[in-house]
C-alpha cells in the first residue's frame, strides 16, 4: 500500500538525485577534458568510434526527462549496420533436404498419409517408441521397445508424452522413409487434484484479483535493435496491433546466458550463487521460480533446444529432477541421438525448424489447460546464439505463433513475454560502435490482454512509463511474482530475492545501474567514447600491452601458444561511470580492442590507467569478439578456450 504513496519527500529526493547525477556527469566530462590527457587525443570525427570503416557518429541523445540512466544513442536503422543485419535471408525451411514426414497428430490419433512419399517409395509400415527421462539423470534417455506395426493410424492414450516414429519402405525392408518426433502434453491424473487444491489454497489465502497465464518465448543473444531490424513482422504486430510494451532500456546483468536466466528464474546474481554452489553440483538448489508457480497451482513448462549447451546445460551441468511439470529435455536428447536428424547447426530437426517444435509444444500446453493457470517459457537457443542475423529467418514463425494464440483465445488470458537474455557477443555488428551498445541491450516485450489494460489503467500507465526506465530480468521476475498473486498495484506476498522491482510499480527515474543490479562493465548509462587515442601513442601502447598480458595470463602455457600483438585496432577513452568519479585521482578508463597471433583472436576489455603513475589494470571482463572453434579444443571449458590457441593446431601447420 504505502509503496505507491509518493510524497513530497520522494519528489525532493528525486530532484536531489538528478542534480547529483548531473554534477557527476559534468565532473566526468571535465575529467576527460583535463589537459593532461590532451596530447594523445584525436577528435571523434576523424576516427569513427569503434570501427574506422564506419563513419557514423552517434548524434546527441535526446533528453526527454531527467532520468539518471541515458543509453548512448545509436540509430537502429543506421545504413552501415543494415548492411550487416542479414535482412536478405528468407524464412527458415527444413523440408527440402530431408525425408517427408508422413505422420501427423490428430487429437490423440497418430495418422499416416503415405501419399506424401516421393518417387517410387512405398510405405510398408510405421512404428513408434516412447522416450522417457532416465531417473535422476539429465543427460540420458530411456527408449521403450518399438510398438507394433501400423500403416494407417494408431490411437494413443492420454499418457503418451514423448515418442519417436519411424516408417519403412515396401521394397527395401530396412530403409526408413519417414522419421518424426512428437511431444504431447499428458494430463497427470495423479497430480490434477493436487494442483486443483493448490489453486483453491491460493484463492483462499491471497484472493488474487486476476489469474493470467504466463507464456514466455526467448531468443538467445539477440539485441533489441537487431530484433527490431530482423523481425519487422513480429515487432509491428506486437507494438502496433497488440499494444505491447517494449522495454527500451533493458539491461543485462552479464554477457552470457546463465547469469541472465538465473536473474529471471532464481533471483540471484551469479556471484551470490557462486558463494554456495559449484558447477559440479546439480542445479536443483536454485529453487527456480517454477516451484513457486507450482505451489500456487500453475502447471509449468520449460523447454530449451540445445541439450548440450545454453541456459542450464553448458559445461555438462544438470538437474537431478525436472524443474517443471512439462520438461521437453528427453525429446531434445532423443532427436540429437538420432543420426542426421538435427541439422544446420541445430536450427532444423528433421523436416521442420527446431523453433516450430518449441512453439508447438507451448501451444499444445496452452490448449491442454484452457481453464487452469499455466506458466511456461520456451528458449530458442541455437538459431540466434552464434549469429543474430538468423532472427530474420524466424520472424514469420514468431508472428504466426502470436496469431495462433490469438485465434485460440489464449492471448486473452495470458501475459506473453518475448525476450532475449543478453545482446550479441560476437560477429560483424558487434565489432562496430553500434554493436558495442547493442551488445548490452537485450529486449523484453510484454503483451497483456486488452481487457486487462482497460481494467487496470494505472498499471498500463506505469508499464508505459517503465518502458523508458532502466530495467533488467530481475524486474521481469518480480513482475511474474506479482502476477502469481495479482493484487493490482498493491504489494503481493513478500518474496525472497533482493533484486528487482516489479514493472507494475514505477521504476524510479533516478535508478542507476548499481541500483538495478547491473555490474558497471555491463552498464550503458551515460557510457560512450569521449575521445579516441592515437594507437601509436605511448598511452595506447601501454594499455594494449596491459591487455595482452592479461589475456596471456589466462592462457594455459603448456597447451596454448604464446600470443603476440597483431594489431591494436582502437583505444577509446570512455566517459566515466558514476562510481568511478568518486575517486579523485586522475585516471583514464579506456576500451581497448586488439587482435593477436597466432589465430587472429580479437579481444576487447576495459583497461584503466592511473595517469600519475602510469599503472594499468584490466577490468574483470575480457571479451572475445570472434568465435573460437577448431583451434581451442585442447582446453576443456569455454572460459579457457576463449584464451587459447592450441599448440600443434592444424590451421597453423597449414600456414
Task: Report which residue's Cβ sits closest to ligand NAG.
Answer: 346
Cβ nearer to ligand NAG, comparing 249 with 347: 347
Binding ligand NAG by CB under 6 A: which of 61, 243, 403, 409? 409
Contact 496, 481 (CB under 8 A): no
The residue range among 142-150, 291-299, 459-467, 515-523 that interacts with ligand NAG, by the rule CB under 6 A, is 142-150
CA distance 365 to 360: 8
Contact 385, 420 (CB under 8 A): no
Q: Scan residues 539-598 and list those touching ligand NAG (CB under 6 A).
A: 569
CA distance 197 to 193: 6
Can residue 336 be called a binding residue for ligand NAG (CB under 6 A)? Answer: yes
CA distance 504 to 506: 7
Binding ligand NAG by CB under 6 A: which of 614, 617, 620, 637? 614
Cβ nearer to ligand NAG, comparing 633 with 651: 633
Nearest distance from C-beta of residue 356 to ligand NAG, angstroms: 15
Contact 287, 477 (CB under 8 A): no
Mode of pairing for the β-strands spanning 153-155 and 342-343: unpaired
Rounded to 5°, the CA angle 196-201-204 comes to 130
Binding ligand NAG by CB under 6 A: which of 16, 73, 279, 451? 451
Residue 513: is the preceding peptide bond cis (ω within 30°)? Answer: no
CA distance 204 to 81: 54
Q: Which three cell numbers stand for residue 160?
A: 503418451
Q: Scan residues 175-214 and list those touching ligand NAG (CB under 6 A).
A: none
Can residue 538 be called a binding residue for ligand NAG (CB under 6 A)? Answer: yes
Can residue 113 be called a binding residue for ligand NAG (CB under 6 A)? Answer: yes
Q: Looking at the DSSP assignment, which residues form a beta bridge with residue 103? A: 112
> What is the x/- site pattern for ligand NAG, positions 301-330, by CB under 6 A?
-----x-xx------x-x------------
CA distance 46 to 38: 16
The residue range among 110-118, 194-202, 285-293, 388-396 that interacts with ligand NAG, by the rule CB under 6 A, is 110-118
Binding ligand NAG by CB under 6 A: which of 43, 90, 115, 174? 115
Can residue 382 be called a binding residue for ligand NAG (CB under 6 A)? Answer: yes
The residue range among 31-39, 137-145, 359-367, 577-585 that interacts with ligand NAG, by the rule CB under 6 A, is 137-145
Kindly give, in sequence order, each residue whose CB lies less than 8 Å from that of residue 392, ignoring residues fewer than 6 positions away.
85, 86, 87, 89, 230, 231
CA distance 552 to 277: 28
Give the number of residues written for the chain. Answer: 655
Q: Which of 118, 87, 89, 86 is nearest to 102 (CA)?
A: 118
Cβ nearer to ligand NAG, comparing 432 with 467: 432
Can residue 130 be called a binding residue for ligand NAG (CB under 6 A)? Answer: yes
Can residue 637 be called a binding residue for ligand NAG (CB under 6 A)? Answer: no
Cβ nearer to ligand NAG, comparing 193 with 536: 536
Starting from the edge strand earliest in sequence, which strands make up the sheet with 616-624, in order?
Answer: 41-42, 529-533, 564-574, 587-597, 602-610, 616-624
The residue range among 155-163, 165-173, 394-402, 457-465 that interacts with ligand NAG, by the rule CB under 6 A, is 155-163
The residue range among 234-242, 258-266, 341-349, 434-442 that interacts with ligand NAG, by the rule CB under 6 A, is 341-349
Nearest distance from C-beta of residue 50 to ligand NAG, angstroms: 7
Q: Write the Ramachandran bin of 264: left for phi over 0, alpha for psi from -120 to 50, otherwise beta.
A: alpha
Nearest distance from C-beta of residue 247 to ligand NAG, angstroms: 25
Cβ nearer to ligand NAG, comparing 218 with 346: 346
Nearest distance from C-beta of residue 568 to ligand NAG, angstroms: 10
CA distance 53 to 199: 59
- Classify residue 178 by its DSSP letter: E
Q: Scan residues 42-71 and list those touching ligand NAG (CB under 6 A).
A: 51, 53
Contact 160, 184 (CB under 8 A): yes
- Residues near ligand NAG, by CB under 6 A: 51, 53, 113, 115-116, 129-130, 139, 144-145, 147, 157, 159-160, 306, 308-309, 316, 318, 336, 342, 345-346, 382, 386, 409, 412, 428, 431, 451, 534, 536, 538, 569, 613-614
Amino acid at each position: 500500500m504505502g509503496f505507491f504513496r509518493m510524497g513530497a519527500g520522494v519528489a525532493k529526493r528525486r530532484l536531489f538525485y538528478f542534480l547529483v547525477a548531473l554534477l557527476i556527469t559534468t565532473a566526468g566530462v571535465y575529467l576527460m577534458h583535463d589537459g593532461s590527457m590532451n596530447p594523445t587525443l584525436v577528435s571523434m570525427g576523424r576516427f569513427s568510434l569503434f570501427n574506422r570503416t564506419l563513419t557514423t557518429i552517434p548524434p546527441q541523445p535526446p533528453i526527454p526527462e531527467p532520468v539518471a540512466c541515458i543509453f548512448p544513442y545509436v540509430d537502429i536503422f543506421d545504413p552501415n549496420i543494415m548492411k550487416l543485419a542479414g535482412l536478405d535471408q528468407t524464412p527458415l525451411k527444413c523440408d527440402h533436404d530431408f525425408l517427408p514426414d508422413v505422420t501427423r497428430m490428430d487429437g490423440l490419433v497418430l495418422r499416416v498419409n503415405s501419399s506424401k512419399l516421393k518417387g517410387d517409395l512405398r510405405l510398408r509400415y510405421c512404428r513408434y517408441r516412447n522416450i522417457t527421462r532416465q531417473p535422476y539423470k539429465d543427460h540420458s534417455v530411456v527408449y521403450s521397445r518399438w510398438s507394433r506395426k501400423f500403416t494407417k493410424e494408431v490411437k494413443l492414450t492420454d499418457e503418451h508424452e514423448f515418442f519417436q516414429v519411424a516408417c519403412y519402405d515396401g521394397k527395401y525392408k530396412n530403409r526408413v522413409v519417414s522419421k518424426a518426433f512428437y511431444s504431447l502434453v499428458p494430463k497427470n491424473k495423479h497430480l490434477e487434484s493436487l494442483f486443483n487444491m493448490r489453486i483453491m489454497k491460493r484463492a483462499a489465502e491471497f484472493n488474487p484479483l486476476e489469474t493470467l497465464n504466463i507464456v514466455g518465448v526467448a531468443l538467445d543473444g539477440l539485441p533489441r535493435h537487431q530484433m527490431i531490424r530482423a523481425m519487422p513482422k513480429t515487432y509491428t504486430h506486437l507494438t502496433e496491433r497488440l499494444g505491447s510494451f517494449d522495454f527500451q532500456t533493458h539491461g543485462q546483468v552479464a554477457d552470457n546466458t546463465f547469469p541472465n536466466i538465473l536473474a529471471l528464474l532464481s533471483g540471484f546474481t551469479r556471484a551470490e550463487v557462486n558463494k554456495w554452489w559449484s558447477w559440479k553440483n546439480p542445479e536443483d538448489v536454485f529453487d527456480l521460480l517454477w516451484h513457486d508457480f507450482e505451489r500456487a497451482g500453475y502447471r509449468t513448462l520449460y523447454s530449451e533446444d540445445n541439450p548440450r549447451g545454453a541456459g542450464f546445460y553448458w559445461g555438462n551441468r544438470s538437474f537431478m529432477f525436472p524443474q517443471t511439470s512439462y520438461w521437453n529435455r528427453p525429446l531434445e536428447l532423443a532427436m540429437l541421438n538420432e543420426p542426421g536428424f538435427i541439422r544446420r547447426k541445430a536450427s532444423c530437426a528433421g523436416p521442420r525448424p527446431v523453433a516450430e517444435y518449441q512453439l508447438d509444444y507451448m501451444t499444445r500446453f496452452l490448449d491442454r489447460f484452457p481453464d487452469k493457470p499455466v506458466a511456461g517459457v520456451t528458449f530458442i537457443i541455437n538459431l540466434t546464439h552464434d549469429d543474430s542475423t538468423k532472427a530474420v529467418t524466424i520472424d514469420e514463425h514468431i508472428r504466426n505463433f502470436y496469431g495462433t494464440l490469438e485465434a485460440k483465445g489464449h492471448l486473452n488470458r495470458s501475459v506473453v513475454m518475448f525476450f532475449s537474455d543478453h545482446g550479441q557477443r560476437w560477429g560483424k555488428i558487434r565489432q562496430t560502435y553500434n554493436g558495442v551498445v547493442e551488445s548490452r541491450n537485450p529486449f523484453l516485450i510484454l503483451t497483456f490482454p486488452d481487457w486487462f489494460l482497460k481494467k487496470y489503467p494505472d498499471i498500463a500507465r506505469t508499464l508505459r512509463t517503465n518502458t523508458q526506465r532502466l530495467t533488467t530480468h530481475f524486474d521481469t521476475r518480480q513482475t511474474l511474482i506479482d502476477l502469481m498473486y495479482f493484487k493490482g498495484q498493491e504489494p503481493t506476498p513478500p518474496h525472497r530475492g533482493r533484486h528487482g522491482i516489479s514493472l507494475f510499480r514505477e521504476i524510479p527515474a533516478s535508478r542507476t545501474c548499481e541500483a538495478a543490479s547491473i555490474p558497471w562493465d555491463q552498464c550503458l548509462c551515460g557510457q560512450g567514447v569521449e575521445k579516441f587515442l592515437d594507437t601509436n601513442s605511448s598511452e595506447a601502447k601501454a594499455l594494449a600491452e596491459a591487455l595482452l598480458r592479461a589475456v596471456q595470463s589466462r592462457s594455459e602455457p603448456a597447451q596454448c601458444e604464446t600470443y603476440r600483438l597483431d594489431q591494436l585496432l582502437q583505444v577509446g577513452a570512455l566517459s566515466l561511470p558514476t562510481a568511478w568519479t568518486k575517486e579523485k585521482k586522475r585516471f583514464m578508463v579506456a576500451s581497448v580492442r586488439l587482435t593477436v597471433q597466432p589465430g587472429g583472436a580479437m579481444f576487447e576489455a576495459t583497461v584503466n590507467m592511473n595517469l600519475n603513475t602510469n599503472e594499468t589494470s584490466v577490468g574483470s571482463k575480457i571479451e572475445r569478439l570472434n568465435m573460437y572453434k577448431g583451434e581451442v579444443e585442447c582446453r576443456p571449458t569455454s572460459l579457457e578456450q576463449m584464451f587459447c590457441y592450441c599448440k600443434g593446431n592444424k590451421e597453423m601447420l597449414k600456414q
